[in-house]
Amino acid sequence: MSAQALTTARLRIRAMESGDRELFLELYGDAETMRFIGRPAPRRENNARFRAALDAARKPRGPRFFTILKKRGRVPIGLCSIRRISVRESSAEVGIMLIRVARGRGYALESRRAFVDAAFQTLPIDTIWVQNHRSNTDIARLNAKLGFAETVHWRPRGARRDWRVLILSRWNWSAPSRPMAEHLPVEWFGGNISRRTR
């Protein structure tokens, strides 16, 4: 089990592990969860995707998935991710998915706030971006609460053609009153990246 983790009042966020297979399969195989992302895939295909995600996390600057768990009982409720970390563009993309029973309880806001704060504290980036289907009003509200704003002047590499791209800059970020990433190494997010210095 990974010893390094982000913690909030109710949640714990750690690197995805081999034991998180069923959570991954549930999320990527559920039609409701995938409605604004892509088609839900059969179990065999998602098993291959899960193995690929674990392998990618071992590569320098590969996409990283993190498991969101309730502190009480260590029950897994979703995944968040970071990818396309670019030192050149000083940016990174983040994402989040929750299982159905965990939605509408504030877990998405709580986990994303901690994750974004950790990224800004740890990585040499000044911009975090997200992308979402234009019909996904729930994620749009979540992003607005955290200060993400739509941009039309910058299209990051890897953004889907018809999706909305929103950005949040370090200077517009309202950090939580209690820092959450003081002891996280930069390797938690990805290898071969210099730590942010202040």
Which pLDDT tens digit goes with each residue over 91-141? 999 999 999 999 999 999 999 999 999 999 889 899 999 999 999 999 999
pTM summary value: 0.91
Q: Specify the CATH number of the domain 5-188.
A: 3.40.630.30
Cα separation, 59 vs 105, whole angstroms: 34
Give strand ranges (E) for the chain: 5-7, 11-15, 64-70, 76-86, 91-98, 127-132, 149-150, 164-169
Dist CA 102 CA 75 (whole Å): 11
Q: Mean pLDDT of all residues in the chain?
A: 89
CA-nearest of 134, 126, 133 to 34 is 133
Q: Six-digit token pair at 54?
A: 């674990």
Q: Distance between CA atoms of 142 and 80, rounded to whole angstroms? A: 14
